[in-house]
Amino acid sequence: TSAFKVANVSSLVKISDEQKCKLCRCVLFEPVKCSKCLKEFCQHCYGKFHAEVGTCPLNCGGSTPLKAEDALV
């Protein structure tokens, strides 16, 4: 087996801020958008935050996540 291990993909590939979750700062995984501010988050990150706090993590007042592909910008 190869001794080469990839510790952090973002160190190998330039990832724009638009492609990163606003909470975990990793590449978006199963992205959802806030229904009000339309910022994107990983589904897991948004769900966990929303379950605890009940609003958008960016305090915009939004409370309903949309699947990213369903949100028209």
Average pLDDT, the chain: 79
* More confidently predicted of 45 and 63: 45
**In this model, does residue 32 exceed pLDDT 70?**
yes
**In this model, does residue 45 exceed pLDDT 90?**
yes
**Is 42:30 a contact under the CB 8 Å cutoff?**
yes
Helical (H) or strand (E) element with 49:
helix 43-53
* pLDDT score for 6: 46
**In this model, does residue 71 exceed pLDDT 70?**
no
Helical (H) or strand (E) element with 44:
helix 43-53
